[in-house]
Amino acid sequence: MATNTPPVRYKGDDLDAERGPGLGCFRFQLVVLGIFIVLTPLSVIWKWPDTISAGLLVAVLILLLVTGQTIIFLLRLVAADRRSRRRPLASGTKTVGELEDAATDSVSDELEPTTVVPPAIPPSGEPGLDEPPPVDEGPVRQ
């Protein structure tokens, strides 16, 4: 049973899995980032010019930023894909969402639209006796 959830929004439009970077792009970024992370300290040990070592360090920082943004985008794609409730393939039991839906459906089936009119006189006959005591406790910490 699918829930009626609105589509995930990204930059004002619906999030489309076909647009944006894919897993191949992310893997390429990780490989280049790994090479630069290893090469940067080695450039200092091998006594390469300082400008090359600094350039590698700046490249590592930029690649970290780009790779981080790519993984956030890919995680949003996964979250958008899993918005509908699906039964796990090997599961023989109901999921929590299915149990909640069944409980909500059974409660709504049991309730019939009736109008309840409160009695004018409390059951004990004396006004104020059947009212609940005032709450003087404040919030309770658990």
pLDDT at 1: 47
Q: Domain tally for the chain?
A: 1
Task: Give a yes or no: residue 26 inside a domain.
Answer: yes
pLDDT at 30: 93
Asked if residues 33 and 67 have their Cβ atoms less than 8 Å apart, the reply is: yes
pLDDT at 95: 73
Cα 112 to chain centroid, rounded:
36
Task: Give a yes or no: residue 39 inside a domain.
Answer: yes
Pick the more confident residue, 100 or 57. Answer: 57
What is the per-residue pLDDT across 40-97, written as a single tens digit (0 to 9) for each?
999 999 999 999 999 999 999 999 999 999 888 888 777 766 665 566 666 677 777 7
Full residue range of the structural domain in which residue 47 is found: 22-84
Task: Give a yes or no: residue 14 inside a domain.
Answer: no
What is the rounded distance in angstroms from the CA atom of residue 80 to the CA atom of residue 74?
Answer: 10
What is the per-residue pLDDT across 104-128, written as a single tens digit (0 to 9) for each?
777 666 655 556 666 555 556 566 5
Residue 2 pLDDT > 60: no
Q: What is the pTM of this model?
A: 0.47
Task: Give a yes or no: residue 40 inside a domain.
Answer: yes
Radius of gyration of the chain (CA): 30
Task: Give a yes or no: residue 64 inside a domain.
Answer: yes
Task: Give a yes or no: residue 30 inside a domain.
Answer: yes
Task: Give a yes or no: residue 104 inside a domain.
Answer: no
How many residues in the chain? 142
Structure tokens at 135: 């709450």
- Residue 84: name the closest of 93, 103, 102, 97 by CA: 97
Task: Give a yes or no: residue 49 inside a domain.
Answer: yes
What is the rounded distance in angstroms from the CA atom of residue 62 to the CA atom of residue 72?
Answer: 16
